[in-house]
Amino acid sequence: MEVFRIQGGTRLVGQVRITGAKNSSLKLMATALLAPGLTTIRSVPNILDVAIMAELLRRLGCAVNYNPETEVAQINVPETIEHRADYDLVRRMRASIAVLGPLVARTGSADVALPGGDAIGSRGLDMHTAGLERMGATVTNEHGYLVVHAPTNGLVGTQVYLDFPSVGATETLLMAAVLANGQTVIDNAAREPEIVDICQMLQKMGANISGVGSSLITIEGVAKLNPVDYDTVPDRIVAGTWAVAAAMTQGDIEITNANPDHISMALDKLVAAGAQVSSSNAGFRVQMDRRPKAIDIVTLPYPGFATDLQPQFIAMNAISEGQAMVTENLFEARFRFVQELSRLGAEVRTDGHHALVRGRANLSGAPVEATDIRAGAGLVLAGLVADGETVVHAIEHIDRGYVGFEKDLTRLGAKITREKSQDFS
Binding-site member from 197, 254, 308, 328 for ligand EPU (CB under 6 A) = 308
DSSP secondary structure letters along 109-176: EEEEE----BTTB----HHHHHHHHHTT-EEEEETTEEEEE--TT--B--EEE-SS--HHHHHHHHHH
**88, burial (CB in 10 Å: exposed 0-12, middle 13-18, buried 19+):** exposed
123 binds ligand EPU (CB under 6 A): yes
CB of 95 to ligand EPU, least distance (A): 4
Q: Which span (12-20, 126-134, 270-278, 313-321) binds ligand EPU, by CB under 6 A?
A: 126-134
Tell me whether residue 365 or residue 378 sits nearer to ligand EPU (CB atom): 378
Binding-site member from 62, 167, 199, 338 for ligand EPU (CB under 6 A) = 167
124 binds ligand EPU (CB under 6 A): yes
Binding-site member from 19, 249, 307, 371 for ligand EPU (CB under 6 A) = 307
CB of 167 to ligand EPU, least distance (A): 4
CB of 45 to ligand EPU, least distance (A): 12
Residue 22 phi/psi, 5-degree rounding, is -55, -50
Tell me whether residue 311 or residue 383 sits nearer to ligand EPU (CB atom): 311
CB of 33 to ligand EPU, least distance (A): 17
Checking DSSP bridges between strand 63-67 and strand 72-77, what pairing results, if any? Answer: antiparallel
DSSP state of 234: B
SS3 62: coil
Tell me whether residue 14 or residue 124 sits nearer to ligand EPU (CB atom): 124
Select which of 86, 111, 118, 423 is catalytic.
Answer: 118
Tell which residue, 160, 169, 178, 186, has the closest CA to residue 220: 178
Q: Rounded distance, CA 1 to CA 328, Å?
A: 30
- List the alpha helices (DSSP H) in 206-309: 236-248, 264-272
CB of 163 to ligand EPU, least distance (A): 8
Binding-site member from 65, 122, 140, 421 for ligand EPU (CB under 6 A) = 122
Tell me whether residue 368 or residue 386 sits nearer to ligand EPU (CB atom): 368
Q: Rounded distance, CA 108 to CA 268, Å?
A: 46
Degrees, nearest 5: CA angle 97-311-419: 85
CB of 204 to ligand EPU, least distance (A): 21
Site string for ligand EPU, 393-412 (x = CB under 6 A): --------x-----------
- Please report which helix (H) or strand (E) contains residue 411, including its range: helix 405-411
Tell me whether residue 129 or residue 250 sits nearer to ligand EPU (CB atom): 129
304 binds ligand EPU (CB under 6 A): no
Q: Rounded distance, CA 220 to CA 202, Å?
A: 12
How many whole angstroms from its chain centre is CA 159? 27
SS3 420: strand
Q: Which span (32-40, 115-123, 205-213, 415-423) binds ligand EPU, by CB under 6 A?
A: 115-123
116 binds ligand EPU (CB under 6 A): no
Q: Is the peptide bond before 227 cis (omega within 30 degrees of 0)?
A: no
141 binds ligand EPU (CB under 6 A): no
**255 bridge partner residues:** 16, 284
CB of 173 to ligand EPU, least distance (A): 10
- Report the residue number whose CB is nearest to ligand EPU: 168
- 387 belongs to the catalytic site: no
23 binds ligand EPU (CB under 6 A): yes
Tell which residue, 163, 164, 112, 166, has the closest CA to residue 137: 112
330 binds ligand EPU (CB under 6 A): yes
125 binds ligand EPU (CB under 6 A): yes
Binding-site member from 144, 151, 164, 396 for ligand EPU (CB under 6 A) = 164
Tell me whether residue 81 or residue 377 sits nearer to ligand EPU (CB atom): 377
C-beta of residue 246 within 8 angstroms of C-beta of residue 286: yes
Q: Rounded distance, CA 399 to CA 404, Å?
A: 8
Q: Which residues are known to be catalytic?
A: 118
Binding site for ligand EPU (CB under 6 A): 23, 95, 120-128, 164, 166-169, 307-308, 330-331, 373-374, 401
